[in-house]
A and B are shown apart, each in its own frame.
Chain A
Amino acid sequence: MKLFDSIKKDFSTITWVLMVVAIAINVVMGEIVVLLKLPIYLDSIGTVLVAITCGPWAGALTGALSNTIWGLLIDPNALPWWPVAMFIGFVAGWCAIGGLFKSWWKVVIAGFLIALTAATVSTPIAVYIYGGITASGSSFITAYLLQTGQGVLQAVFSTNFLVEPVDKISTSLLAFAIVQGLSGRFLARFPRPENVEVDKTAGRTQVLIAIGIVIVLVLIAAFVLTNILTK
């Protein structure tokens, strides 16, 4: 019963309306980054916005529907990936409930967790439906890793693990920035406004900590990468 109540809490009328706008934002953002030729997708930005203001279940549904609509109407290659989008929303929602969307450096951590989830969930899909090589540019990396003799699952996961964090951390930071720009009165309309009550610590300190965490993550990634390459 408690689970059912938790799910119900996410969904009020404004949740459904936000979902519509969020999915449209996903689509248009995806197009803008193509226009600006940036190496990120940002096509989960709407999903994350729903997840942090309404909850993990609403976020999950937004991701699933977003991917489905995208796949049916824009690019059918996106269709098999709906579980990834769903889990992105789900994990973002729980990160928000856990208070990770309250200051800049915590948001970086949330972005990293979301990236990890995306990498994990997309690996079996890539392997079992596509045999590891998908139609995206990151498959070049997978191909290289496969050449070095790695197992398919490992190669695909490594690729995803390298590619996802940049996009998902950027997405989370952007979502956080957007929510910061909304008034408290407006946010109060949504089911979980408490997720985005910002910590009162000095803004400057937070940004420095955030940069610090990013540096740490980059170092970890470099360490992991060299390990993979020299294996």
Chain B
Amino acid sequence: MAIVKLQNVTYKYPLTDTPVLSNINLDVKEGEFVAIVGPNGAGKSTLCYTLAGFIPHFFKGELEGRVEVAGVELKSSALNEWVRNVGLAFQNPFNQISGAKYTVFEEIAFGLENQGVPREEMNQRVEEALTMTGIRDLADRSPYSLSGGQQQRVALTSILVMRPKVLVLDEPTSQMDPIGTREVFAVIRRMAEDGMTVIMAEHKVEWIAEFADRVVALKDGKILLQGPPSDVLTSRLLSENGFGISRYTSAARESLKMNLWPKHLHLPITLQEAVDGFGGKK
């Protein structure tokens, strides 16, 4: 059962003529993890903002087509109700800290306070969220004293605690160093294992291969290709259209031409797959 439905979605920012999204048709099932890939300017962020409801309500502009989450249509919803169903986290962790709270614990509770959740339930849910995302040790720290990776994990926890039906992530590790990236993906892994419906725009192809059930390749506002990661991320169509692909894939593709990669195996995306393939594992 599709919890997210996009039908013929086309969008133009205000004062512009070229649509940034053209005729997007996309269904996402409950519990599915969909990754959006694409070169810069493909419309990944625009798609994320549309799913999160900020297009059209915050950004204005012309939105055509139908956007539906959990049976509710976007254009006839108010943004403050839409955000209850769809959570959003984006690249810059610093900008996601409200600033209105002095400790991480309270920062996470901020969204629940706004929603009018009773105090006891708030305490319980924040505790659960802290444990689930593994940041219990940060609970009493000031959000502004944290590293980028820690701040991003707090941001994710702050959204998760609100129990959205769908979680939209716009390149959550773009501004992280390698340690931060690992920390953030650890949290994302927990969410995926928990059965959360996730739509994530990402560049880091190797990580996508690990989480995604499906990959949607976006270019110039249109869906070029979609399918399982092992198909899409190794597809020639992607490498020909300026998408970043895993270096292991490129290495294996070249090796294939020289008969150094087993013909019957899928091209690898991650290091492990490459090692297995080159190492002769069946």
Q: Is any CB of A less than 8 Å from a CB of B in the complex?
A: yes
Q: Chain A residues in contact with chain B, CB under 8 A?
A: 20, 184-185, 188-189
Q: Which 9 A-B pairs have the closest CB atoms?
A: A188-B14, A184-B15, A185-B15, A20-B99, A185-B13, A185-B14, A188-B60, A188-B15, A189-B58
Interface of A is mostly: helix
Question: Shortest distance in angstroms between B41's beta carbon and chain A's nearest beta carbon?
Answer: 15
Alpha-carbon separation in the docked complex, A122 to B58 (Å)? 39
Alpha-carbon separation in the docked complex, A109 to B22 (Å)? 47
Interface of B is mostly: loop
> B58 to chain A: which residues have CB within 8 Å?
189
Q: Which B residues from 1 to 36 make CB contacts under 8 A with A?
A: 13-15
> A188 to chain B: which residues have CB within 8 Å?
14-15, 60
Alpha-carbon separation in the docked complex, A185 to B59 (Å)? 9
> A189 to chain B: which residues have CB within 8 Å?
58-59
Q: How would residues 90 to 118 of chain B score, 1 for a CB under 8 Å from any chain A CB and 0 otherwise?
A: 00000000010000000000000000000
> A185 to chain B: which residues have CB within 8 Å?
13-15
> B99 to chain A: which residues have CB within 8 Å?
20
Alpha-carbon separation in the docked complex, A188 to B15 (Å)? 10
Alpha-carbon separation in the docked complex, A184 to B14 (Å)? 10
Greatest chain B CB density within 10 A among A20, A184, A185, A189 is at A185
Question: Shortest distance in angstroms between A92's beta carbon and chain B's nearest beta carbon?
Answer: 25
- How many CB-defined contacts (below 8 Å) exist between A and B? 10
10 contacts between A and B (CB under 8 A): A20-B99, A184-B15, A185-B13, A185-B14, A185-B15, A188-B14, A188-B15, A188-B60, A189-B58, A189-B59
Question: Shortest distance in angstroms between A1's beta carbon and chain B's nearest beta carbon?
Answer: 22
Complex: chain A residue closest to B99, CB-CB:
A20
Q: Chain B residues in contact with chain A, CB under 8 A?
A: 13-15, 58-60, 99
Alpha-carbon separation in the docked complex, A185 to B99 (Å)? 26
Alpha-carbon separation in the docked complex, A189 to B14 (Å)? 10
Question: Shortest distance in angstroms between B14's beta carbon and chain A's nearest beta carbon?
Answer: 6
8 extra interface residue pairs, beta carbon distance < 8 Å, beyond A185-B13, A188-B15 = A20-B99, A184-B15, A185-B14, A185-B15, A188-B14, A188-B60, A189-B58, A189-B59
Alpha-carbon separation in the docked complex, A184 to B15 (Å)? 9
> B59 to chain A: which residues have CB within 8 Å?
189
Question: Shortest distance in angstroms between A186's beta carbon and chain B's nearest beta carbon?
Answer: 11
Question: Shortest distance in angstroms between B98's beta carbon and chain A's nearest beta carbon?
Answer: 10
> B15 to chain A: which residues have CB within 8 Å?
184-185, 188
Question: Shortest distance in angstroms between A162's beta carbon and chain B's nearest beta carbon?
Answer: 39
Alpha-carbon separation in the docked complex, A28 to B183 (Å)? 35
Question: Shortest distance in angstroms between B191's beta carbon and chain A's nearest beta carbon?
Answer: 26
Alpha-carbon separation in the docked complex, A185 to B13 (Å)? 9
Question: Shortest distance in angstroms between A69's beta carbon and chain B's nearest beta carbon?
Answer: 13
Alpha-carbon separation in the docked complex, A185 to B16 (Å)? 10
Complex: chain B residue closest to A188, CB-CB:
B14
> A184 to chain B: which residues have CB within 8 Å?
15
Question: Shortest distance in angstroms between A138's beta carbon and chain B's nearest beta carbon?
Answer: 35
Complex: chain B residue closest to A20, CB-CB:
B99
Question: Shortest distance in angstroms between A10's beta carbon and chain B's nearest beta carbon?
Answer: 17
Question: Shortest distance in angstroms between B112's beta carbon and chain A's nearest beta carbon?
Answer: 18
Alpha-carbon separation in the docked complex, A20 to B99 (Å)? 10
Question: Shortest distance in angstroms between B149's beta carbon and chain A's nearest beta carbon?
Answer: 24
> B14 to chain A: which residues have CB within 8 Å?
185, 188
Alpha-carbon separation in the docked complex, A184 to B16 (Å)? 11
Question: Shortest distance in angstroms between A67's beta carbon and chain B's nearest beta carbon?
Answer: 20
Question: Shortest distance in angstroms between A62's beta carbon and chain B's nearest beta carbon?
Answer: 16
Alpha-carbon separation in the docked complex, A184 to B60 (Å)? 13
Question: Shortest distance in angstroms between B79's beta carbon and chain A's nearest beta carbon?
Answer: 9
> B60 to chain A: which residues have CB within 8 Å?
188
Alpha-carbon separation in the docked complex, A188 to B60 (Å)? 9
Alpha-carbon separation in the docked complex, A188 to B58 (Å)? 10
Alpha-carbon separation in the docked complex, A29 to B129 (Å)? 40
> B13 to chain A: which residues have CB within 8 Å?
185
> A20 to chain B: which residues have CB within 8 Å?
99
Question: Shortest distance in angstroms between B18's beta carbon and chain A's nearest beta carbon?
Answer: 14
Question: Shortest distance in angstroms between B54's beta carbon and chain A's nearest beta carbon?
Answer: 11
Alpha-carbon separation in the docked complex, A213 to B157 (Å)? 56
Question: Shortest distance in angstroms between B102's beta carbon and chain A's nearest beta carbon?
Answer: 15
Alpha-carbon separation in the docked complex, A121 to B13 (Å)? 44
Complex: chain A residue closest to B60, CB-CB:
A188
Alpha-carbon separation in the docked complex, A184 to B13 (Å)? 12
Alpha-carbon separation in the docked complex, A20 to B97 (Å)? 13
Question: Shortest distance in angstroms between A198's beta carbon and chain B's nearest beta carbon?
Answer: 15
